[in-house]
Amino acid sequence: MTAGLAASMALVGFPLIGALASLACWSHPNRLRTCSIVTAGATLAVALGLATTAALPSNVLLFVCLLPIAAMTSLLGQPAHPLHRHSWLMTLVSLGLGMGTLTQAGPIRSLFLAAIAALASMLLFRHHSPLWPMSWLGIIICGTGSLAAVVAAVAEPRLSAHAMLVAAAVLMPLVPLHSGFLGALTRLPGSLPPFLVVLFPLTGFQTVMASIPAASDTLTGLLTILAGGGAAYGALKAPAQSRVRLRLAYGSLSFLSISWWFAATHGTGQSAAVFVGAVALATSGLLSSWQIVRTRYGDDVDPQAVSGLASSMPRYAVLFSLLALAAIGLPPFGVFAGFVGLLLSPNVSFSAVLVVILATWLAASWYVLDMAQRLLFGAPRADLRHADLHGDELAALLLPVLVLIALGVVPSDVFAPGSPVTPATAEMGRFAWNVWTN
């Protein structure tokens, strides 16, 4: 058994075995939640241990570390309630499938990807509500992505690459195949939305990295148009949403469309990976922060009815503000690092799509900060019960903030050791926003 295969089996097996072990605690929600968090932490420890032994390819190290971190933060941000037990187990199962997608190649990767999309489709079906008929479209889109991944596992190489790009467009959302992503972030309960918002883009981007070199010029041209349109569409839809999760879903759709544009026009690189990982983690942190509000005031709370939390919940206000600043792409966070790295690529030239992308970045500064301003600095509500973050909730928001800072300031060779450095990169320094090629 090779070291790479053993590493992959360990990363896949830990979450799945942990999910099975958690079933023994089903009647005790506190123990079940603790077991799930420990399992995610153990998976992260295994990933960090494998990173030091070079048992995994350098281009997956960043993602295999981010995925269990996202699982931990999503689980820490949920209260220990019996209604969340199913979502905790599904988070661990999804973590195992995600690790398989990131660490395997060829048909095996396709089957893991198909399992992720199929699981998302089944979860959306389970939580479908007749009051939200659009969720049917999400179920169909996720099923289509699963079918495309299965086709990719058995088709000849050129057709397989195209089918994998279809599956990737479902997970790392690309208009018009974005409804499954939106449904997962807005309709699923508990820890699933803040985890799937990381799992989907990371596995989708890894698939794009493997498939885009075999795509035809016609297809890459179409992807460029769809990416520019998706960035503009998400930026226009986000501020029009009255619900926080919908606003965050459209905002992340807008930013992730930028990575599609870069992949279709300039290929993939370490800056793109940092950008995708940082956007996903920042969105996850914001979803967890909104879940904390919902825990206090009810799942159906109107965002307009909650305001003035900065004075009554100072720890929450500080961490929520930092996550909002990270999400709009300000330094020193990873979104800024990855975005500037993309723009500093020597192959990037002025175009209409580039103008749209820059406008998308500016638009996020408005609708994300507007959401934060209303929640934190609006008129205080004396009739609301105010309780600042407790230990688990504090960890759930602090951990993504620290990781986002690390993505922005640590040397790039931490994320991809052994990557070649161009002369231009060497002159600019060794930070994560530098342009690296895989």
181-228 pLDDT, tens per residue?
Answer: 999 999 898 899 999 999 999 999 999 988 888 888 888 889 989 998
Residue 393: Cβ within 10 Å count: 23
* Closest to 255 measured CA to CA, from 238, 234, 274: 234
Spatial distance between the Cα atoms of 370 and 367, rounded to a whole number of angstroms: 5
* Closest to 193 measured CA to CA, from 296, 73, 57, 98: 73
**Winning range, highest mean pLDDT, from 46-50, 117-121, 260-264:** 117-121
- 3-class state of residue 269 by DSSP: strand
Spatial distance between the Cα atoms of 377 and 392, rounded to a whole number of angstroms: 24
Helical spans, DSSP H, in 54-84:
61-76
CA triplet 259, 417, 63: central angle to 5 degrees? 45
* Closest to 397 measured CA to CA, from 299, 285, 239, 310: 285
Residues 399, 284: contact at Cβ < 8 Å?
no
Spatial distance between the Cα atoms of 113 and 149, rounded to a whole number of angstroms: 6
Asked whether residue 149 carries a pLDDT value surpassing 80, the answer given is yes
Q: What is the pLDDT of residues 340-366, one digit of tens each?
A: 888 887 766 667 777 888 888 888 888
In this prediction, residue 350 carries a pLDDT of 67
Residue 130: Cβ within 10 Å count: 7
Domain ranges for the chain, please list them.
Answer: 1-215, 218-438
Residue 296: Cβ within 10 Å count: 16
Q: Measured between alpha carbons, how far is residue 295 from residues 97, 232, 246, 275, 410 in Å?
A: 29, 33, 18, 30, 35
pLDDT-derived band at 74 (thresholds 50, 70, 90) equals: very high
Asked whether residue 422 carries a pLDDT value surpassing 50, the answer given is no
In this prediction, residue 264 carries a pLDDT of 82
Handedness of CA 30, 31, 33, 38 (dihedral sign): positive
Residue 427: Cβ within 10 Å count: 9
Two structure tokens written together for 96 = 């195992």
Beta bridge partner(s), residue 431: 411
Spatial distance between the Cα atoms of 281 and 276, rounded to a whole number of angstroms: 9
pTM of the entire structure?
A: 0.90
Spatial distance between the Cα atoms of 101 and 338, rounded to a whole number of angstroms: 23
Question: What's the Rg (C-alpha) of the chain?
Answer: 20
- 3-class state of residue 314 by DSSP: helix
Match 């759709």 to its residue by tokens: 253
